[in-house]
Amino acid sequence: MSTEIIKAEPTKELFVKMMIRDIPLDRAILDLIDNSIDGAHKLRDDENFDGLFTKLTIEKDKFIIEDNCGGISKNILINQAFMFGKPSDYESTDHSIGRFGIGMKRAIFKIGNHFKLETIHTKSKSSMDINIIEWLKDTKWKFETNIEYLDTLEENTKTIITITDLHSNISDEFDMQYFLTKLKKDLAFSYSLILNKKFKIFINGEDIKREELKIIDDTNLSPEIIKFTFPREERDEDKIINIKIIAGVSKERDLKQGGWYIFCNDRLILEADKSNITGWDNNDLPKYHPDFAYFRGYVFFDSKNAELLPWTTTKTGLNSDSSVYKATAFEMRKALKKVISFLRERATQESNFKKDKIDNNPLTQLIENNSIEDNIISIKNKTSTAFNYIANTPHNIEEKPNGGTITYWKSNDELNQLKKYLNLSTNKDIGKYTFDYFLDLVNDNE
């Protein structure tokens, strides 16, 4: 009897297809930008990224990403950057957002069949020129690079990746204005906190401006702010996750933008979520509804060790089974209940006001007339507070006695003539005045 070796390694083509199958094109591009931002973190411990940038050139026949965020060192390029996954001795970056060690490769394979990489590090210059179709035919899992070692330290570090021979479906998407418009919006949301640190992102020369994420923070209407660490008893900074939850209302009643926004190390991974993952339509909490369109909730997971954060490999969702997210979801539900209770009361008031059952609508006025709506960045470091609201008039307003509404049509000329004569401002005022006038006449003649 003899022992034979059975081949079990994956083919490159299958591995590549599996790797790019579940990630949308825009998310793959964000993975490349994540690598630039991790480079910025290595350069600037104080997180002031002024002068650092990522520039994207997106055209029908090519894709280029360039940054000035430190370049790729010889050691990382040879031993880490093109491995499929992270080796055990991976040189990690504190508070990184490039977590899984597959983002750059996956993005390149997703976009096209040929790429060039040029990088200048402080001690070396490196370049690669790879035909992916030919590489897939080779059974060896390796790439080749040319490296020039520098005699003096280089200050103008950079990395440029150029992808050509684009896949036909990718080329078609790059040629659509809709794709570029959506990508710009995604970048403005996804990197809103990072752009606030003066990092710059350009698409075809256009400077992307961060999206303003706002919430009312006033003595009359303050958000719920919950802050804790996980595990709660852990004290080692390398092993903990800092969590902050901010839940309240926005001045803008926007059905699409209402919901939860969840960040991992300042990278948005879930935008305006209204699903049961974030508590909606779950046990005693209702489905998202137009009455709740004022709601805004923000959750921040921050950790030196990105491996601890509860995000998926595509950074487009949460690992809802993780212990840290289960603990956070419990606190999110408590905050959500408080804000929903307020918004239900506001909706009831508004409905009664429109039906002329009550004379005023103080909770809606409290939201819409509030002049203090802070950007979420400005309150991210505030201490814990409880959701609280104080309207200028009592919340429990007595309804008017049972009655009805009288409606009749008159021309604008006639209405304006009567408004001027009676010194009244609205059609409703005219109706009430004239009704009361003739009711007094009837009462006087009885």
Q: What is the DSSP string of 192-230?
A: HHHHTTT-EEEETTEEPPPP--EEE-BTTEE-EEEEEEE
| Residues 240, 197 within the same domain | no
Q: Is the peptide bond before 290 cis (omega within 30 degrees of 0)?
A: no
More confident residue, 299 or 140: 299
Cβ–Cβ < 8 Å for 105, 28: no
| Residues 374, 340 within the same domain | yes
52 falls within a domain: yes
Give pLDDT, residue 395.
47
Looking at the DSSP assignment, which residues form a beta bridge with residue 146? 127
| Residues 379, 428 within the same domain | no
| Residues 192, 55 within the same domain | yes
Structural domain count of the chain = 3
Structural domain including 68 reads 12-207
Give pLDDT, residue 291.
94
Nearest CA to 291 out of 233, 242, 349 is that of: 349
What are the structure tokens assigned to 2, written together?
A: 């003899």
Give pLDDT, residue 247.
95
| Residues 126, 268 within the same domain | no
CA distance 97 to 305: 10
364 falls within a domain: yes
Nearest CA to 246 out of 291, 214, 293 is that of: 214
2 falls within a domain: no
CA distance 420 to 31: 65
CATH of the domain at 156: 3.30.565.10
Of 163, 179, 207, which one is at a domain's C-terminal end?
Answer: 207
What are the structure tokens assigned to 30, written together?
A: 């964000």
- Once rounded to an integer, what is the mean pLDDT over residues 52-73? 96
Nearest CA to 228 out of 153, 130, 302, 135 is that of: 302
Write out pLDDT tens, residues 157-207: 999 999 999 999 999 999 999 999 999 999 999 999 999 999 999 999 999
C-alpha dist (Å) from residue 373 to 128, 186, 227, 367, 432? 49, 23, 21, 10, 37
Burial zone of 136 (CB within 10 Å; 0-12 exposed, 13-18 middle, 19+ buried):
middle
Does pLDDT of 99 surpass 60? Answer: no
CA dihedral 278, 281, 282, 285 (to 10 degrees): 100
291 falls within a domain: yes
More confident residue, 107 or 371: 107
| Residues 179, 225 within the same domain | no
CA dihedral 23, 29, 31, 36 (to 10 degrees): 180
Does residue 118 sit in helix, strand or coil? Answer: strand
- What lies within 8 Å, CB to CB, of 443 at 6+ separation is none
65 falls within a domain: yes
| Residues 249, 120 within the same domain | no
More confident residue, 97 or 174: 174
- Once rounded to an integer, what is the mean pLDDT over residues 230-244? 86
Write out pLDDT tens, residues 364-401: 989 988 877 767 777 777 778 889 888 765 445 555 55
Write out pLDDT tens, residues 395-406: 455 555 566 677
Number of residues that this document lists for the chain: 446
Phi, psi dihedrals of residue 190, rounded to the nearest 5°: -60, -35
Most distant pair of Cα atoms in the chain: their distance: 122
Write out pLDDT tens, residues 13-23: 888 888 888 88
- Once rounded to an integer, what is the mean pLDDT over residues 26-52? 90
Buried-state track 4-25, b at ≥16 Cβ within 10 A, e below 16: eeeeeeeebeeebeebbeebeb
The share of the chain scoring above pLDDT 90, in percent, equals 52
Buried-state track 169-184, b at ≥16 Cβ within 10 A, e below 16: ebbebbeeeebbeebb
The share of the chain scoring above pLDDT 70, in percent, equals 94
Lowest mean pLDDT among 35-49, 198-212, 341-355, 431-445: 431-445
Does pLDDT of 118 surpass 70? Answer: yes
* Residue 91 pLDDT level (bands cut at 50, 70, 90): low
